């Protein structure tokens, strides 16, 4: 049986260019780097603050700090005069 209807061939679709361009690859790389940075920052095993001891700590306790001396209450008239000079008053 010879049919007069021609047989059609099925052609598969092949794009001429890649599906992703270089900007897409940059976005993927930035996403991966950001994800790794967040993981590294939140890793409790890598945090130095978790493993410090009192002998090796670089934190100075409050008892070793020098006493703070306030000069604010000693000369209130000078403070008022300085403020008056800055705003242009007499």
pLDDT tens by residue, 11-51: 777 777 778 899 999 999 999 999 999 998 888 765 555 55
Domain membership flag for residue 41:
yes
pLDDT of residue 52: 52
Domain membership flag for residue 69:
no
Instruction: Confirm if 85 and 79 have CB atoms less than 8 A apart.
Output: no
Domain membership flag for residue 34:
yes
DSSP 8-state symbol, 4: S
CA distance linking residue 77 with residue 83, whole number of Å: 10
What does the mean pLDDT of the chain come to?
75
Domain membership flag for residue 63:
no
Question: In sequence order, what are the residues at sequence separation of 6 or more whose Cβ sits closer than 8 angstroms to the Cβ of residue 46?
Answer: 40
Domain membership flag for residue 25:
yes
Q: Write out the H or E segment, with its range, that includes residue 38.
A: helix 22-41
- Could you tell me the pTM of the whole model? 0.36
Q: Which residue has the higher pLDDT, 87 or 48?
A: 87
Domain membership flag for residue 43:
yes
Our count of domains for the chain comes to: 1
Domain membership flag for residue 31:
yes
For 39, the domain range is 19-52
How wide is the angle at C-alpha 29 spanned by C-alphas 26 and 35, nearest 5°?
A: 140
Domain membership flag for residue 37:
yes
């Amino acid at each position: 049986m010879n049919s007069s209807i021609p047989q059609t061939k099925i052609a598969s679709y092949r794009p001429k260019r890649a599906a992703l361009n270089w900007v897409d690859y940059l976005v993927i790389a930035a996403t991966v780097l950001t994800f790794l940075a967040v993981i590294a920052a939140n890793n409790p095993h890598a945090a130095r603050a978790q493993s410090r001891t009192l002998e090796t700590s670089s934190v100075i306790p409050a008892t070793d700090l020098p006493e703070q001396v306030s000069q604010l209450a000693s000369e209130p008239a000078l403070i008022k005069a300085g403020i008056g000079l800055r705003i242009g008053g007499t």
